[in-house]
Structure 1
Amino acid sequence: MLSVLRRSDCEEYLSVVNPLPSLLPVHTDPTVIPSILLLRTEEELDRCEGAFAPEDQRAIGGAVEQLGLRLLEKLAVSPQQPNVIVSPLSVAVALAQLTLGARNETERQLLQSLHAQDLPCYHHVLGRLLPHFSQSSLQVAARTYLRPGFEVKLSFVEESLARYQSRPVSLLSVEEVNQWVENTTSGHISNFLESVPHDVVLILVNAVYFKGEWQTQFDPQGTSKGAFYVDSQNSVSVDMMKSPQYPLRLLDHPELQAQVASFPFKGNTSFLVVLPRGNISSVLPKLNISDIYERLPQEKNMQVSLPKVKLQYRQELQEALSSMGLDSLFSSPNLSGVSDEPLRVTGVHHASTVELSEEGVEASASTAVTATRSVSVFSVNSPFVFALVDDASLMPLFMGVVTNPAPNHEPTLNDDPNRCESTHCLCLQQIHPHLLNNSVLNQT
Structure 2
Amino acid sequence: MKQKFGSSWEKFLQRRYAVRLGRRYALAAASVVLMGVIGCTQVEGNTKVYAQSSVPRSESLAQKSVLPDTKLILANTKFGFKLFEEVLKQENNKNVFISPASVAIALDMTYNGANGSTQRAMAKALELQGLSLQEINSSNAALKQLLENSDPEIQLNIANSLWANQEVKFNADFIKKNQDFYQAKVTNLNFQDPNSVSKINNWVSESTRGRINKIIERIEPDQVLFLLNAIYFKGKWTNEFDKQQTVQQPFYLTSGTQKQHPMMSQKGKYKYYENEQFQAASLPYGKDGKFSFYVFLPKKNSNLKSFYENLNAENWEKWISQFSLREGLIRLPRFKMDYEITLNTALEALGIGEAFTNQADFSQMGQNFQISEVKHKTFVEVNEEGTEAAATTSVGVTAVSATVNQQPFQMIVDRPFFCAIRDNQTGSILFMGAILDP
Whole-angstrom CA distance in 2 between matches of 1:344 and 1:236: 46
Give 1:124 shift. Answer: 1.9
Whole-angstrom CA distance in 1 between matches of 2:90 and 2:361: 35
Deviation per CA, 1:415-436: give whole Å up to 9, x if none.
xxxxxxxxxxxxxxxxxxxxxx
Q: Is the 8 A contact 1:249 1:262 kept in 2?
A: yes
Amino acid at match of 2:226: I
Please state whether the residue corresponding to 1:140 is helix, strand or coil.
Answer: strand
1:5 alignment partner in structure 2: 44
Which of 53, 71, 75 is residue 63 of structure 1 equivalent to?
75
2:54 alignment partner in structure 1: 25
Which of 144, 151, 156 is residue 169 of structure 2 equivalent to?
151
Whole-angstrom CA distance in 2 between matches of 1:283 and 1:127: 34
Q: Is 1:280 the equivalent of 2:298?
A: no
Whole-angstrom CA distance in 2 between matches of 1:113 and 1:175: 32
Q: TM-score, normalised by structure 1?
A: 0.76
1:433 alignment partner in structure 2: none
Whole-angstrom CA distance in 2 between matches of 1:310 and 1:16: 43
1:160 alignment partner in structure 2: 178
Q: Which protein is bigger by CA-based radius of gyration?
A: 1
Q: Is the 8 A contact 2:238 2:285 kept in 1?
A: yes
Give 1:118 shift. Answer: 2.5
Q: Is 1:133 the equivalent of 2:115?
A: no
Whole-angstrom CA distance in 1 between matches of 2:90 and 2:360: 32
Whole-angstrom CA distance in 2 between matches of 1:239 and 1:3: 55
State the structure with bigger RCO (CA 8 A, min sep 6), 1 or 2. Answer: 2
Per the alignment, do residues 192 and 33 of structure 1 end up closer, same or farther by CA in structure 2, a change over 3 Å counting?
Answer: farther
Q: Is 1:342 the equivalent of 2:368?
A: yes
Whole-angstrom CA distance in 2 between matches of 1:281 and 1:106: 33
Q: Is the 8 A contact 2:44 2:168 kept in 1?
A: no
Give 1:323 shift. Answer: 0.8
Please state whether the residue corresponding to 1:82 is helix, strand or coil.
Answer: coil
Q: Is the 8 A contact 1:68 1:86 kept in 2?
A: no
Which of 266, 280, 285 is residue 265 of structure 1 equivalent to?
285
Give 1:360 shift. Answer: 5.3
Deviation per CA, 1:112-145: give whole Å up to 9, x if none.
1111103342332122101211122321000010
Give 1:5 shift. Answer: 3.5
Displacement over 3 Å in runs of 4+: 77-81
Per the alignment, do residues 375 and 294 of structure 1 end up closer, same or farther by CA in structure 2, a change over 3 Å counting?
Answer: closer
Amino acid at match of 2:54: P
2:67 alignment partner in structure 1: 52
1:394 alignment partner in structure 2: 427
Q: Is the 8 A contact 1:174 1:193 kept in 2?
A: yes
Amino acid at match of 2:343: L
Whole-angstrom CA distance in 1 between matches of 2:89 and 2:369: 32
2:4 alignment partner in structure 1: none
Q: Which structure 1 segments of 5+ residues have no match?
A: 7-13, 39-48, 362-372, 406-444
Per the alignment, do residues 384 and 104 of structure 1 end up closer, same or farther by CA in structure 2, a change over 3 Å counting?
Answer: same
2:136 alignment partner in structure 1: 122
Give 1:235 shift. Answer: 1.8
1:89 alignment partner in structure 2: 101
Whole-angstrom CA distance in 2 between matches of 1:81 and 1:383: 10
Deviation per CA, 1:250-282: give whole Å up to 9, x if none.
10134xx11111111126111111112323233
Q: Which moved more, 1:191-200 or 1:146-155?
A: 191-200
Please state whether the residue corresponding to 1:216 is helix, strand or coil.
Answer: coil
Q: Which moved more, 1:373-382 or 1:67-76?
A: 373-382
Which of 250, 269, 291 is residue 227 of structure 1 equivalent to?
250
Whole-angstrom CA distance in 2 between matches of 1:195 and 1:389: 34
How many percent identity over aligned positions?
28
Deviation per CA, 1:127-176: give whole Å up to 9, x if none.
21012111223210000100112110100000011111112112341111
